[in-house]
Structure 1
Amino acid sequence: MFTFESQLNSCLKSTSKSFKLLFATNNQFVLPITNRILVLDSSFNPPHKGHLSLVAKSLTHKLGDESTVHSSVNSRSVLLLLSVKNADKRPQPAKFEDRLQMMYYLAQEITDQMGVSCAIGITNCSLFVDKALTLENYFKKEYTDRLRFTFLLGYDTLVRLLAPKYYEPRSLQDALGSFFKTSDCFVLTRNDGNDSSESQLQYLERMKKGMVAEAPPRWADKIFLAQGDSDTQSLSSSSIRKLIGSGDDSWISKTTPNIAAFISEQHPYKDTCTPA
């Protein structure tokens, strides 16, 4: 197995906001033609087919002022990002080392299936705006300043991202203004029993009309919304952990063979009572 222990420990000990690139499926993660990095920021606890669907759809969706989607495989790279901010608490129910190993298998799957370079990174930042800033600083120093970052989200995460209550006493525009200068979001609808798919797909129209809390209508141009796949838009890491904990083997079909084998052999969820 690929080991990430030394790099992980270095990030855990850092007292400043930081990002580390741990692994890339190709020798050169950022090519001369690369202009956009698709950032899948998740707990990966465990990774599953919903993550694969989100990446696949973001690769074929027109983002911003790009002239065509057909060059996406050559001009976009994928970054799997894990936040280790709460390192003073033992991560449950899977250790960070186990999650990184499963992310390694997911990265290989993305490259094999979709033909794009995929990397794994860790950060000790918890807020999207801080993550975006550390990524911008890192890639500007190590590669180029012409990259744009697209964060891949489920609809439920987008709603939380734009919820003013999480930024009080700062205003939403003050808190997220710098985020939308360098980054944008690709969002898939979710089937979580709350908003219907139709309502979710109308979210940007509501934003353009000034009907989304404190979000400026212009931010709608930085958010790209698409319909999720029917077989994965209700899938979540927590639902898989519940199946594992109950002994229901149907969880196996909801992730990739290598990840399923790792879970079966290494038992990272032997204690599944505490969600992360």
Structure 2
Amino acid sequence: MRYFEPSHLDRAIQRLQQNTSQLEILYSKVIPIDRCTSDQGSDNRPPVVRVTVLDSSFNPPTRAHLALALLSTPDISDTTLLLLSVRNADKQLKTGDAPYTERLEMLAHFADDLARSQIEANWPFMPKCVHENPTSSSDQSLAKSLWPVILTAAIDEPTFVGKSTVLHHALPPYWPSLVRDWDGEHRHEAFPRFQFTFLMGWDTITRFFDPKFYPSPEGMSKSLEKFFFVEKSSILCARRPKASFRRPGDVGTEPADEQEESIFLQSGIVKPYVDAGLIKMINIGASEGLISSTRLRESLKGTVNTEWVSLTTPAIVSYIQEQQVYSAPWTSG
């Protein structure tokens, strides 16, 4: 089953690539909540919405992506944004890769699986920005609203630093149409402030701090300061093996050991942000840490190899089987 007409996704990608749009919100999972009719924080400023961002190529989504997304627990996040960039700083489309339209379609199905996993984990869905709104005043009442717990979106920006800037500019105008009253009416409220936490694995955070992705050492320093200190974005990094194609039992599958991690985190360019609490490391399951999209695609090449089914989520399994996503003769370009 498809959620979108391919032409709808084609037009969204075209708007991004033609710079007529910075961000395309394509799918959302919402929940009903009770909230105060006043949308001001305790200091009479718009509330802060905490958004965790899982940015990946999703070619296709896997259980490793699910494990990362489930790090955005309610104590640190109000909304999870699944983000696909149609321009990648480190990867180019290759023969056999799924087109961006297929990945965006799969991302919506993956959002369904993520929502099911959140429900199974009995997450208490109450956005912190709503919970912290003042409720003691007698003139405040509760209203039913729909809150976007999970969003999927496309962007045309290859770097994390650039994505943070785009999200700060482009997401606020979307917000009134995403947070709706129970009767379906859009809320005409002040744009909230946003705080973004980017979820990533060990291999990604090392690329984040790789000078080759910045124009110069000075440019890198300014970009990082803007990301962490000006925009107040942060990183939650899962420890995982660096190699993108490893199976349990392979030689060299040990995650980055404590010494390697310590050297990296205490390096001159990284340490200030660790000390400021803006970079945190966390463990995910050992089996999930060995899963990658590359491994799944390689498994799909075998005529009798069904390992790939265990590497992704049920909705993605169904979609790949029904649509024959990786059986089509996709070509780069």
TM over 0.5: yes
Q: Is 1:110 matched with 2:142?
A: no
Q: Is 1:218 matched with 2:220?
A: no
Equivalents in 2 of 1:264, 1:107: separation in Å? 18
Q: Is 1:2 matched with 2:3?
A: yes
Q: Is 1:35 matched with 2:67?
A: no
Unmatched tracts of structure 2, length 5 or more? 40-46, 120-124, 126-148, 176-190, 244-251
Deviation at 1:12, TM superposition (A): 2.1
Residues 185-194 or 222-231, more deviating: 185-194
Q: Is 1:246 matched with 2:246?
A: no
Identity of aligned residues (%): 25
What amino acid sits opposite 2:323 in the alignment?
Q
Partner of 2:257: 199
Deviation at 1:266, TM superposition (A): 1.2
Equivalents in 2 of 1:170, 1:233: separation in Å? 32
Pairing 1:253-272 to 2, within 5 Å after superposition? 253-270=310-327
Partner of 1:234: 290
Partner of 1:18: 22
SS in 1 for 2:87: coil
Unmatched tracts of structure 1, length 5 or more? 61-68
Pick aligned residue for 1:100 from 104, 108, 124: 104
Partner of 1:154: 201
Deviation at 1:132, TM superposition (A): 0.7
What amino acid sits opposite 2:156 in the alignment?
N
Pairing 1:149-188 to 2, within 5 Å after superposition? 149-171=196-218, 172-181=220-229, 182=231, 183-188=233-238
Question: Compared with structure 1, are the counterparts of its residues 201 and 108 closer, same or farther at alpha carbon in structure 2 (3 Å cutoff)?
Answer: farther
Partner of 1:63: none
What amino acid sits opposite 2:73 in the alignment?
L
Deviation at 1:140, TM superposition (A): 2.9
Question: Compared with structure 1, are the counterparts of its residues 265 and 195 closer, same or farther at alpha carbon in structure 2 (3 Å cutoff)?
Answer: closer
Deviation at 1:167, TM superposition (A): 0.8
For these two proteins, the number of residue pairs brought into alignment is: 258
Deviation at 1:196, TM superposition (A): 4.5
TM-score (norm 1): 0.81
Deviation at 1:185, TM superposition (A): 0.8
What amino acid sits opposite 1:52 in the alignment?
L
Deviation at 1:224, TM superposition (A): 1.3
Equivalents in 2 of 1:97, 1:77: separation in Å? 23
Deviation at 1:129, TM superposition (A): 1.2
Deviation at 1:236, TM superposition (A): 0.4
Q: CA RMSD in A?
A: 3.1
Question: Compared with structure 1, are the counterparts of its residues 273 and 138 closer, same or farther at alpha carbon in structure 2 (3 Å cutoff)?
Answer: closer
> Is the 8 Å Cα contact of residues 93 and 268 (structure 1) preserved in structure 2?
no
What amino acid sits opposite 2:238 in the alignment?
L
Partner of 2:59: 45
Question: Compared with structure 1, are the counterparts of its residues 178 and 26 closer, same or farther at alpha carbon in structure 2 (3 Å cutoff)?
Answer: same
Partner of 1:119: 151
Question: Compared with structure 1, are the counterparts of its residues 170 and 6 closer, same or farther at alpha carbon in structure 2 (3 Å cutoff)?
Answer: farther
Deviation at 1:35, TM superposition (A): 2.5
Deviation at 1:253, TM superposition (A): 1.2
Partner of 2:69: 55
What amino acid sits opposite 1:253 in the alignment?
S
Q: Could you give the per-residue CA deviations for residues 137-178 of structure 1, whole angstroms, max 9, x where no partner exists?
A: 122334334220111101000000001122132432122221
Q: Which has the higher helix share?
A: 1
Pairing 1:72-87 to 2, within 5 Å after superposition? 72=76, 75-85=77-87
Deviation at 1:91, TM superposition (A): 7.7
Question: Compared with structure 1, are the counterparts of its residues 131 and 28 closer, same or farther at alpha carbon in structure 2 (3 Å cutoff)?
Answer: farther
Larger Rg: 2
Question: Compared with structure 1, are the counterparts of its residues 51 and 10 closer, same or farther at alpha carbon in structure 2 (3 Å cutoff)?
Answer: closer
Question: Compared with structure 1, are the counterparts of its residues 206 and 11 closer, same or farther at alpha carbon in structure 2 (3 Å cutoff)?
Answer: same
Equivalents in 2 of 1:135, 1:148: separation in Å? 10
